[in-house]
Amino acid sequence: MEYSYISDLRSGKSSGTVKVRGWVQDIRRLKNVDFIILRDHTGTAQVTVKKSSGSLGVDPGAINRESVIEVEGENVQNSISKTGTEILANRINVINTSMAPLPLPVTDPVEADIETRLNNRFLDLRKPHIHHIFEAESELMWGIRKFLHGEKFVEVHTPKVVAAATEGGADLFGVKYFEMEAYLNQSPQLYKEILISSGFNRVFEVGPAFRAEKHNTVRHLNEFTSVDIEMAFSDHNDAMSMLERAVKSGIGSMKSAMDDRVELISKIETPSLPFPRITYRKCIDVLHDSNEDLEFGLDFTPEQLKIIGDGFEGFYFITEWPSTVRPFYTMINQQDESITNSFDLQYKDKEITSGAQRVHDPVLLEKRFRNKGLNPKDFEFYLNAFRFGMPPHAGWGLGLERLTMILLDLKNIRETSLFPRDRTRLVP
Ligand code: ATP
């Protein structure tokens, strides 16, 4: 007999005598009957063990919570049972016993603090509402991936151990690479651009990005998942259009697949396009109007982004960032050299994506390196790709965990990373 998932019992897809397997979430013992709440990744079912049923193979009272068991029995629809599904057990087999007590309860209504939860992440992830975050993230990513494939992007995989820092900054993890010094890559930026020179018209990558930023905030991880695209013969406007459509596709996928699983998802509006846009200069005006002062050329603080974000319902772009706060590869605006053809996608006060048209002229690129205090010689492998025919191009990088966090209205980015890496956490 084939095994059924618990959701199949509820939907009526499996009926009669069934076989299911999963974890023992709870056991309730009454005089004449025992109830086992059995959980698999699709839900919970009540397993009813009548004391009069005799030789089931095991004594339910001796099974520890969170042990893995399989049950064979009759599936009956039961509107009284909390789970809506009842299995009258004929046979129970304990596949693997859990130790007791559990270091972290799986069903406790009072949530433990995040550090205890992350220390015991394997148990924390068994909680359905936590597990659903990652199913939602997967659906979100699938919607974005499907969209990009439809737009003829090629999925690529670039190295994560590199010799040169993408942005030259100090936020780098050094690693020993045999007799050489190497770094964990901060972003696939340089490699995506090289691929544009190699004749890939459109590329995307979903992979880890490493930032040795010392600050410990609820929106930063030291290793996060970056969704990156780069497109040839395109500018920042093309990249923004691609981004808003990719985000919409991701949200659509998440909503349609998860509606019944994550309550919060039903509250997410499918955004209408195009997303509103506001220039950096206009943001400064907004700040001045609210008595916050900011000089042109500086980045916004979280408090300032909150004031700006208050003017928007949800997603919006901040465009035309000053060249002082954008990396060397960002294209300078032809009419006004103080600004760049760049954008950030924001949701209220949170940045989700940075993007831009990129510099494609190698002479300008070398100048930009020097302006940023970087030595072009350290980037020869990258510059070479610009010297032998590089098309104009544009792209963006989106933080997957941050987007999931925003969409599910979670307060800490650690909630959307299976095994977060932060300033103090390297285990599990
Ligand atoms: P922030 O200003 O929020 O620190 P950033 O300007 O350094 O971000 P970019 O380098 O432009 O970010 O990266 C693009 C996107 O990648 C960000 O919009 C964000 O979604 C994500 N991202 C960047 N750094 C982190 C991080 N440390 N943890 C999680 N996500 C990040």
- CATH code, 230: 3.30.930.10
Specify the residue with its C-alpha closest to ligand 1, atom 24. Answer: 220
Tokens representing residue 120 in the block: 């015991």
Atom 21 of ligand 1: nearest residue by CA position: 399
Ligand 1 centre distance from Cα of residue 399 (Å) = 6
Our count of domains for the chain comes to 2
Mark whether 339 and 376 lie in a shared domain. yes
Mean pLDDT (the chain) is 93
Question: 352: CA distance to ligand 1 center in Å?
Answer: 7
* Domain assignment of residue 110, yes or no: no
CA of residue 193 to ligand 1 center, whole Å: 19
39 a catalytic residue: no
Ligand 1 atom closest to 413 (CA): 29
Which residue, judged by its Cα, is nearest atom 29 of ligand 1?
Answer: 220
pTM of the model: 0.95
Ligand 1 pocket, 190 CB below 6 A?
Answer: no
Q: Is residue 105 part of a domain?
A: no
Judgement on whether residues 372 and 233 belong to the same structural domain of the protein: yes
The reply to whether ligand 1 has any atom less than 6 angstroms from the CB of 211 is yes
∠ CA 313-317-318 to the nearest 5 degrees?
115
Residue 341's Cα: distance from chain center in Å?
A: 27
For residues 380 and 369, give the distance between their C-alpha atoms in angstroms, rounded to a whole number. Answer: 11
| CATH code of residue 19 | 2.40.50.140
At 303, which amino acid appears? E
Residue located nearest, by CA, to atom 11 of ligand 1: 354
Contact indicator for 69, 56 with CB cutoff of 8 Å: no
Q: Does position 257 have pLDDT exceeding 90, yes or no?
A: no
* Domain range enclosing 134: 124-416
The verdict on residue 117 lying in a domain is: no
β-bridge partners, 50: 33
Active site residue 402: yes
In angstroms, the first-to-last Cα distance of the chain is 38
Poorest-pLDDT segment among 7-11, 149-153, 382-386, 391-395: 7-11
At 173, list the tokens. 């993890």
Q: Is 70 exceeded by the pLDDT of residue 79?
A: no
Asked whether the beta carbons of 346 and 305 are under 8 A apart, the reply is yes
Alpha helices in 47-201, H assignment, sequence order? 114-119, 121-124, 128-150, 189-197
Mark whether 358 is an active-site residue: no
Give the active site residue among 14, 342, 354, 417: 354
Tell me if 114 is assigned to some domain.
no
Is 118 within the bounds of a domain? no
**What is the distance in A from the centroid of ligand 1 to the CA of 34?**
52
Q: Order of strands across the sheet with 342-347?
A: 154-155, 202-210, 223-232, 393-399, 350-357, 342-347, 315-319, 277-279
Listed residues 79, 96, 113: the one ending a domain: 96
Final residue in a domain of this structure, among 77, 96, 115: 96
| Active site (annotated) includes residue 354 | yes
For residue 1, the model assigns a pLDDT of 81
Domain finish residue from 96, 115, 145: 96
Residues 358 and 212 in one domain: yes
Report whether residue 220 contacts ligand 1, using a CB cutoff of 6 Å: yes
Atom of ligand 1 nearest to the CA of 299: 2
On whether both 168 and 82 belong to a single domain, the answer is no
Do residue 62 and residue 185 come from a single domain? no
Active-site option among 10, 220, 358, 393:
220
Has residue 426 been placed in a domain? no
The pLDDT of 292-306, averaged and rounded, is 93
Q: Give domain status of residue 63, yes or no.
A: yes
Q: Which of 172, 214, 220 to mutate to test the pocket of ligand 1 (most atoms within 8 A of CB)?
A: 220
Would you say residue 75 has pLDDT above 90? yes
Does residue 80 sit in the same domain as residue 176?
no
User: How far, in Å, CA of 217 to CA of 208, rounded?
Assistant: 19
Q: How far is the CA of 401 from the centre of ligand 1 (A)?
A: 10
Nearest residue (CA) to ligand 1, atom 16:
399
Reported confidence tier of residue 404, pLDDT bands at 50, 70, 90: very high
If asked whether residues 86 and 128 sit together in one domain, one would say: no
Atom of ligand 1 lying closest to residue 222 CA: 27
Question: What pLDDT band is residue 59 in, cutting at 50, 70 and 90?
Answer: confident
Kindly state the tokens that stand for 136: 């939602």
Clarify whether residues 90 and 144 are in a common domain.
Answer: no
Shared domain check, 232 and 145: yes
Q: Where residue 199 falls among pLDDT bands split at 50, 70, 90?
A: very high
Cα 398 to averaged position of ligand 1 atoms, centre (Å)? 8
Give the Cβ contact number of residue 245 at 10 Å: 17
Q: Is residue 367 part of a domain?
A: yes
> What is the average per-residue pLDDT within 245-269?
83
pLDDT given for residue 168 in this prediction: 66
Catalytic residue among 323, 402, 414, 417: 402
Domain match, 199 and 241 both: yes
Q: How many helices (H) and strands (E) does the chain have?
A: 11, 16
* Domain match, 153 and 45 both: no
Backbone torsions φ then ψ of 133, nearest 5 degrees = -60, -40
Task: Please confirm, yes or no, whether 86 is among the known catalytic residues.
Answer: no
131 and 81, same domain (yes or no): no
Query: What's the confidence (pLDDT) of residue 61?
Result: 87
Q: Residue range 79-101: average pLDDT? A: 88
**Dihedral through CA 141, CA 147, CA 150, CA 152, nearest 10?**
-80
- The residue whose CB lies within 8 Å of the most ligand 1 atoms, and thus the one to mutate among 189, 354, 398, is 354
